[in-house]
Structure 1
Amino acid sequence: MTAAAPNQRHNGSTTYPPSTAPGSAPSNPTVTKLLGSRGIASLTIDTGPLSGQTAKKNASATEPSPTISTQASARTKRGRWHTLEFRLYFLVFAVMVPLMVYVPVRLSTPSNPNYWSYTDHLKPGWIAGRLRDDSDFQYRSFRDYVPALVGIMGVYLVLSKLFTLLPSSTAKYTRIDGSSSSANSATVRPNRIAFLSVFTILFIFALHGFNSLKLLLILVTNYGLTKALGGMKVAPVVAFAFNIGALFAVHWNDGFEYSRISPALGFLEVFKGLLPRWQINFNITMLRLVSFAMDYHWAKCEADAGGQAGRAMGEVERQGTEPTYQQRTRLTQHLEEYSLSNYLLYALYPPLFIAGPIMTFNDFASQLRRPCRISTRTVVRYAVRFVVSLLTMELILHFVYVNAIKDAKAWVGATPLELSMIGFWNLIVVWLKLLIPWRFFRLWAMVDGVEAPENMVRCMANNYSTLGFWRSWHRSYNLWIVRYIYVPLGGSRNQIPSTLLVFTFVALWHDLSLKLLAWGWLITFFIVPEVVARRVVPYSVWGERWWFRHVAAVGGVGNVLMMMTGNLVGFAIGTDGMRYMIQQLLGSVEGVRFMVGACATLFVGVQVMFEYREEELRRGIDRKC
């Protein structure tokens, strides 16, 4: 277990790694030229405000304003990159990272005795004459639709532009603008509501055909319940009960086929749209329905208590500064903003409808009324990141067939090193197959002028804290969970019970399966050691001792092993596959010897992760994960 929760505050003091003053580390001119003023820290995606708000004005939940520890900033500490210790670590990296690539590539060639047992999962590729791993249905579905999605995105943006040219007396929403004028002079786009209404109707009908009527029925029912019960104590219970019940019902009944409801309705199955299984996307939509219900409930409570819902947000806007993410999310809107039209536009907003990221209703309504400014440079840089991620996935699918090996269970006779690399690279594939669609849809929203939270903050392999990992993985979902479940359940006052309930909900929300339920409980169990260690060995007490960083790294190794175990069970090989892997890794002398070497290598990796976060802090970046 970790000696302290990395990058977390404990009783007003920092925990490991401690922050240091910005600019205290010497700059490498070559690194600065290649990566910019933030140096190597710029490799992690910037989750800060897209609209150019200053750090002082933007203490947002998406990206907290750069925080410098008062204790650490007094000590102008230099980085460890050029010390003998880290030069030895770099030597380990120089040997182990190429080996970690070589092993799965070799397993993906005919020289592997198990090669022919998984070749039916491979399809002709387009890189260097290689076959391509086409075994992952979830990513294959997105990959096959990329040309169509890009086309729809293009049509959406062109029509959006054409609508702004039509005569209108209204002026709502913004376009991308690279200028640096103040927040209260955003470039307007007339006819925004009219355009969104028309395109959303066409978009949803094209996706789900007449099945969209079922979706609309659920949305309208949720709206009616929300309006009728908002402000009452029973409202949150009803909101969750109705939406969770609807989620289970549509999946249990496979979307409620019209012909099963009544033979007379069979004619509605003539057109089911591009995505006939409309219930698949309802998981994301259900979160928006709960968000609307809870945000309206809190606004109604505020109004019923003698306050004025939306007054605080109105005061922020009158100051002439852009509301921060935190303000847009937490401050209530005027009650009239919780209208049926705004609700439907929010729940069905085309760029984010299929897969997110997830925005709260308050945030969306705020941006609908008062737009953010997103620079062209920001959008272009994000688009480049998306393309690089997409090409990285293509390279992996053409040279590393670990997903096909996993599906075919073609690991008989594999060495402990080979087994571990099959597991590790399967997690990389899981990370990328989620990251790529999320970044595409967030990019679409950005081009449309909407700031949505970034879902993936760090690479899967750049995590040593269980708590930090879940802050950076599916971040918008994490923010939703914290706002609507974790905090109402008591938050840190009831950390373990709240966490157990949260991950039970998360597992059931993903799928009604024992595998994911086991995953949720495993994750909760694996979080406990770090929570305990944070309290028993806090940085504020022991952080100055020479041994603390190394003890924390040992704890980080344990966290990495536990997180890999939990996620392999939930999203890759399942409980049976994990049982086989553990038997092979710990059931022989060779396996134990390998695990000792693997833990030593992970220790080096965690030390580098520590220093990387310190480098971020030296650059004024504190990502809390």
Structure 2
Amino acid sequence: MVFSSFTFLLLFLPIVSGGYYLCKKNWIQNSFLLLASLVFYAWEEPIYLFFLLGSIVVNWTLGLLINKFHTQWLLALACVLNVAVLALFKYSNRLDLPLGISFYTFQALSYLIDVYRKEVSVQKNFLDFALYISMFPQLIAGPIVCYKEIEKQLQQRAFDLESMAYGLIRFIYGLSKKVLLANNAGKLWEEIFAQVLTGGDILLAWIGIIFFAFQIYFDFSGYSDMAIGLGKFFGFSFPENFNYPYMAKSITEFWRRWHMTLSLWFRNYVYIPLGGSRKGKLRMIFNLLIVWSLTGMWHGAGLNFLLWGLYFFILLVIRKVILKKVI
């Protein structure tokens, strides 16, 4: 089920909104929203629900064990297990990729790492943890919400008409970007691409690339806006994911504006733990290589995605090391 479908807009969302606000106690609202999220996820492909539930059960259990024993090997096991499952589905030609697995796996990893770091309290309530992993507004396309960002909101949320109105407006704004801008830009790109394949000129190809770039931005940022709006409507504050990236003045600034939650995730859970830029230039270059290789592989399974990540790695190394600029 996608946010722009009539099923979601005219059936699912009105029923869930009405039922949610009829529930007066926080734990009942959480339980209702969890049930709605599981229905949302299972709507198109019910088989995927088993993988999501498996991830929830395993990672909730691992969180309890990491909190109790606090050993590095247990954290390493948890990380390897999550990454292995993600890689299995992502790079196997025989298995279909479950919807949103890249997003909810990273959310689970951030939770486990933060529990180990004692930056968050372990979530002993299974239903609340399940809601964190499976909450439907950001389950399919982000933003990536770290547990510490909504830990308190799972226990208590303030509701007011202003927040609900903002959430609704933000959702409509994102829906408009998706339906009016992204979809039409995509159609123009497809028409131009077809002409280029049959002998179009270079100028036409570049115009097509521009439309393709706008399609990607309006589609992805539109979904993020809808997710943030829905979260706000239900009392949750999700982090921003885009900040006018095409207005960036450097490649570094671009990645601070584009898919911001993914960039922050790799920064906080990979780049800085590896040493960041604190251990000399060679170590920094190595750390950037790891981060951008993983970033490329996160986006897709083909060699082109890895090369795409390495392309940005080279640009950042040129800027940071050769040009010696931070921004």
Normalized against structure 2, the TM-score is what? Answer: 0.85
Partner residue, 1:357: 143
Alignment of 1:154 onto 2:4: no
Partner residue, 2:274: 489
Structure 1 residues 235 and 492 mapped into 2: Cα distance closer, same or farther (>3 Å)? Answer: farther
The 5 A counterparts of 1:559-574 are none
Shift of 1:341: 2.6
Match of 2:199 among 412, 420, 425: 412
Does the CA contact (< 8 Å) of 1:456 and 1:475 recur in 2? yes
Q: What letter matches 2:303 in structure 1? A: L
Alignment of 1:457 onto 2:243: yes
Partner residue, 2:83: 244
What is the rounded CA distance, in whole Å, between the counterparts of 1:396 and 1:354 in structure 2? Answer: 22
Partner residue, 2:170: 382
Match of 1:198 among 35, 46, 69: 35
What is the rounded CA distance, in whole Å, between the counterparts of 1:514 and 1:278 in structure 2? Answer: 17
Larger Rg: 1
Partner residue, 1:440: 226
Q: What letter matches 1:227 in structure 2? A: L
Structural RMSD (CA): 2.8
Identity of aligned pairs, percent?
A: 19
User: Cα deviation per residue 1:516-559 (whole Å; 9 max; x = unaligned)?
Assistant: 011011110011222136637x8xxxxxxxxxxxxxxxxxxxxx
- 1 or 2, which has the higher helix percentage? 2
User: Cα deviation per residue 1:463-514 (whole Å; 9 max; x = unaligned)?
Assistant: 2211111111111111222221121111222432222111111111222211
User: Cα deviation per residue 1:313-371 (whole Å; 9 max; x = unaligned)?
Assistant: xxxxxxxxxxxxxxxxxxx3334x35433221111112221212111112222211232
Does the CA contact (< 8 Å) of 1:503 and 1:520 recur in 2? yes
Structure 1 residues 379 and 204 mapped into 2: Cα distance closer, same or farther (>3 Å)? Answer: closer
Give aligned pairs, total: 317
Structure 1 residues 483 and 408 mapped into 2: Cα distance closer, same or farther (>3 Å)? Answer: farther
Shift of 1:515: 0.4
Does the CA contact (< 8 Å) of 2:170 and 2:226 recur in 1? no
Does the CA contact (< 8 Å) of 2:271 and 2:287 recur in 1? yes
Shift of 1:213: 2.1
Q: What letter matches 1:343 in structure 2? A: F
Alignment of 1:396 onto 2:185: yes
User: Cα deviation per residue 1:355-408 (whole Å; 9 max; x = unaligned)?
Assistant: 12111112222211232566345335524532542323354356xx22343367
Does the CA contact (< 8 Å) of 1:289 and 1:347 recur in 2? yes
Does the CA contact (< 8 Å) of 1:239 and 1:294 recur in 2? no
Does the CA contact (< 8 Å) of 1:356 and 1:442 recur in 2? no
Structure 1 residues 246 and 380 mapped into 2: Cα distance closer, same or farther (>3 Å)? Answer: closer
Does the CA contact (< 8 Å) of 1:254 and 1:279 recur in 2? no
Alignment of 1:233 onto 2:72: yes
State the secondary structure of the residue aligned to 1:457: coil
State the secondary structure of the residue aligned to 1:492: coil
Does the CA contact (< 8 Å) of 2:143 and 2:227 recur in 1? yes
Q: What letter matches 1:519 in structure 2? A: W
Normalized against structure 1, the TM-score is what? Answer: 0.47
User: Cα deviation per residue 1:575-619 (whole Å; 9 max; x = unaligned)?
Assistant: xxxxxxxxxxxxxxxxxxxxxxxxxxxxxxxxxxxxxxxxxxxxx
Alignment of 1:532 onto 2:318: no
Does the CA contact (< 8 Å) of 2:245 and 2:254 recur in 1? no
Does the CA contact (< 8 Å) of 2:115 and 2:121 recur in 1? no
What is the rounded CA distance, in whole Å, between the counterparts of 1:199 and 1:368 in structure 2? Answer: 16
Does the CA contact (< 8 Å) of 1:351 and 1:444 recur in 2? yes
What is the rounded CA distance, in whole Å, between the counterparts of 2:94 and 2:102 in structure 1? Answer: 12
Structure with larger RCO (C-alpha < 8 A, sep 6+): 1
The 5 A counterparts of 1:498-577 are 498-532=287-321, 535=324
Unaligned 5+ runs, structure 1? 1-140, 165-170, 173-189, 257-276, 300-331, 539-624
Shift of 1:411: 6.2
Partner residue, 2:99: 280
Unaligned 5+ runs, structure 2? none
